Structure 1
Amino acid sequence: MADVQRLIDASNVIVCCGSGGVGKTTTAAVLGLEAAAHGRKVVVVTIDPARRLADALGLKDGLAAEPQRIDFSSAKASGGELWAMMLDTEATFDSLVRRHAGDRAQVDRILANPLYRNMAGAMSGTQEYMAAETLHALHGDDRFDLVVVDTPPSRNALDFLEAPGVLARFLDHRAFKLLMLPTKSGLRVLGSAAQPILKAIGRVVGSDVLAEALAFFQAFAGMETGFRDRADEVVALIRAAETSFVVVATPRHDTISEAVWFTQQLVEQGVRAGAVIINRTQPAFGVGTAADATASARAAVGNDDLVALWTNVAELRTLRERERVLIAPIADVVGDNAIATLPLLDRDVHDLAGLQAIAGHLFDPSE
């Protein structure tokens, strides 16, 4: 059984990953809630634009792009705090530009550039990098000593891990360095040898689009070092010892397969899963196996009520044993000591009371 409490105590950043629909957002909220109840200053940030985190925390008006504090008695008693927010990709990108620009005029040129506005809102990878940037900014915010990140489904979560490195490599690429050469005369930016290439690109994408691209790169001049250094810092934070990854799954073949794949990808990224939480599992229903319950049913022949009871227990234990077989592949990857399970509940979780009930199962050893 994974010691999730120790993981929380030892971490400054916790990244929750997993397939869609496995309860990842609820798990992130539970981890934040428990940490705050033990005196930590926690902010939970969701990259997923859906309302799941707001719903789990009982926030009817949803989440904002800035952290908002969640009041609950356990945190007050311990001196802890729980905050929550939702990623705003464009606002984060704008803030990054303002931080690294040389002056106000450069900020205005970049923010007004049509290519930048499209890139900030829709370019592939932008959301993932800005999520990593938000993580870095919150980690450096004196209001918080723990950041819990609720990522999109696993494949997109991997983009979140890779995005800072991709940006750093792009800024070092010779094509980017060529586009950053100073210019005063439009297409002569790269000299006569490159003009045919640019003209060919212009015929494909349109001269206006090409001009906007050149204008953006020229406006960006001088900022690349700041962006590269920041990307390197984000990469270092993601791989730091105080950053933990929690993979969430359910006892189904598809989500376990995804969890196995993702934990293996983490290893390739130079990090490992601190815990794997299997959500919505069948409880134990006493001591013994399904075969034991079946034998008890046979021994009770003549007492119909007792036969029915033991038969039902046998069916439920069979479901649990099948789940254990499904879970085995992820246990083989991370080890039994990194696995924690949460039981299937009889109701949906949509408020703090529900989150605290889940925390009881995850952190109370008597459960």
Structure 2
Amino acid sequence: MSAAPADGARAGRAAGTPRQAPAMDLSALVDDPDTRIVVCCGSGGVGKTTTSAALALAAAEAGRRVVVLTIDPARRLAQSLGLVELDNEPRRVDVPGAPGELHAMMLDMKRTFDDIVSAHSTPERAEQILANPFYQTLSSSFSGTQEYMAMEKLGQLRAADTWDLIVVDTPPSRSALDFLDAPNRMSRFLDGTMIRVLTAPARAGGRAGFKFASAGFMLFTRIISKVLGGQLLRDISAFVSALDTMFGGFRERATATYELLRRPGTYFVVVATPEPDALREASYFVDRLSAEGMPLAGLVLNRTHPPADTRLSATRAEAAAEAAEDDGLVSGALRVHAERMALAAREQRLADRFTSAHPEVALRTVPAAAGDVHDLEGLRVMGEALTGADGDTPTGVPRTRVLPARRG
């Protein structure tokens, strides 16, 4: 009984019928009370921030208490939600008539780091750390700090248990998933040779131990001072000694948040546009999430260009336009339709190529908006495209596709 469908599927593919992507039901996802975290990731310029905001708005209008956290330092989220600015604390967004609540915030990595220092050390030790020049640089500009602080902030939001749903808008690059490395990166940092040497005098017990540690430290100082400079090295040493008692907590919290992302109730949504580079990045994200064992909801193929009517092919429209040359209006309309059909066919081929490589990944196409999405109404329209019924489109083409499926 199972051989016939398999043979039929092979015959269909041989005849040119593309593999069908599973449908992604984002409405059920954001409505489900068991869904607690949705992470949107993708390359830059694909509408990831707008997708995050639209999903958060849809969840609030479904009655949930939602916060959307952007790690992207751009101001697009605040603008689309009608807010002047966002900061490190959730701000209420006025959504008239919504039975739920929508809040928004933007990660401030230095303030998040400052809050951690204040919360997990004595006032005297916190003052010492916050005033340290090396800490001030580390907390605002060092590579990897943003990703680790994103893990911290997400962990804080989830631990507070204030929100029914947390939607995370990640940075617009491959580093969008670097926060998954935060626990291992923190462990490598804490276990590194430099940290062990810098903390040796503080950790050594007894006079002999102190002498040994001091000898190692002096040797290290002579070598590294030539590279970093004596004052910077002293700042680093003072910072590490002051922060020593907090190291274990950093690692434990990062690991706990990482495990939270793998548990039921968390979903990742990859966002792309129907362009080769964006879909290549989407493939990277899908593979990375799979390797990490992270739950993937599917791919949002954003800014597609479905034609208003799919019954007339591009070839037939071009031929009809040539035959109607005497009627400029009709001929022009036919040529516009032909161009739109050709563009849709190109986008569908790219989507089919992605699905062939990742047949298990659910898909949802979202038509391009007429202009930039900059207000709640625009987000609501996009939210309807994201969460609407699969076959509820003007042409009846399922939302998993740009054009109707070809028949073998």
TM-score by length of 2: 0.81
Q: Are residue 22 (structure 1) and residue 42 (structure 2) matched?
A: no
> What is the CA RMSD across the aligned residues, in angstroms?
2.5
TM-score by length of 1: 0.90
Distance 1:220 1:306 in 2: 74
Distance 1:23 1:292 in 2: 32
Residue 214 of structure 1 is matched in structure 2 by 237
Query: In 2 relative to 1, CA 113–194 (structure 1 residues): closer, same or farther, beyond 3 Å?
Result: closer
Q: Could you tell me which of 369, 373, 377 is aligned with 1:353?
A: 377
Tell me if structure 1 keeps the 8 A contact 2:64–2:164.
yes
Amino acid at match of 1:180: T
Q: Are residue 269 (structure 1) and residue 292 (structure 2) matched?
A: yes
Q: Could you tell me which of 123, 129, 132 is aligned with 1:110?
A: 129
Residue 7 of structure 1 is matched in structure 2 by 29
Query: In 2 relative to 1, CA 201–302 (structure 1 residues): closer, same or farther, beyond 3 Å?
Result: closer
Q: Are residue 363 (structure 1) and residue 387 (structure 2) matched?
A: yes
* Alpha-carbon displacement from aligned partner over 1:296-352 (angstroms, at most 9, x marks no partner): 838976994656544433331121011011122332344376111111222221100
Matches within 5 A, 1:276-287: 276-287=299-310
Distance 2:356 2:50 in 1: 25
The unaligned stretches of length 5 or more in structure 2 are 1-22, 394-408
Residue 355 of structure 2 is matched in structure 1 by 331
Tell me if structure 1 keeps the 8 A contact 2:27–2:388.
no
For residue 341 of structure 1, give the secondary structure of its aligned residue in structure 2.
strand
Tell me if structure 2 keeps the 8 A contact 1:247–1:276.
yes
Distance 2:63 2:164 in 1: 10
Amino acid at match of 2:144: G
Distance 2:237 2:24 in 1: 52
Query: In 2 relative to 1, CA 259–290 (structure 1 residues): closer, same or farther, beyond 3 Å?
Result: same
Distance 1:364 1:100 in 2: 45
Matches within 5 A, 1:39-58: 39-58=63-82
Tell me if structure 2 keeps the 8 A contact 1:263–1:272.
no
Distance 2:144 2:94 in 1: 34
The unaligned stretches of length 5 or more in structure 1 are none
Amino acid at match of 2:28: R
Q: Are residue 83 (structure 1) and residue 103 (structure 2) matched?
A: yes
Aligned length: 361
Distance 1:130 1:234 in 2: 11
Residue 97 of structure 1 is matched in structure 2 by 117
For residue 366 of structure 2, give the secondary structure of its aligned residue in structure 1.
strand
Q: Which region of structure 1 is more displaced relative to structure 2, 276-285 or 83-92?
A: 276-285
Distance 2:60 2:216 in 1: 61
Tell me if structure 2 keeps the 8 A contact 1:297–1:308.
no
* Alpha-carbon displacement from aligned partner over 1:226-261 (angstroms, at most 9, x marks no partner): 112111112112222222111111111111111112
Amino acid at match of 1:338: A
Query: In 2 relative to 1, CA 222–39 (structure 1 residues): closer, same or farther, beyond 3 Å?
Result: same
State the 1:143 CA deviation. Answer: 2.2
Matches within 5 A, 1:174-253: 175-183=194-202, 190-253=213-276
Query: In 2 relative to 1, CA 26–4 (structure 1 residues): closer, same or farther, beyond 3 Å?
Result: same
Amino acid at match of 2:364: A
Tell me if structure 2 keeps the 8 A contact 1:290–1:315.
no
Q: Are residue 120 (structure 1) and residue 139 (structure 2) matched?
A: yes
The percentage of counterpart residues that share the same residue type is 42
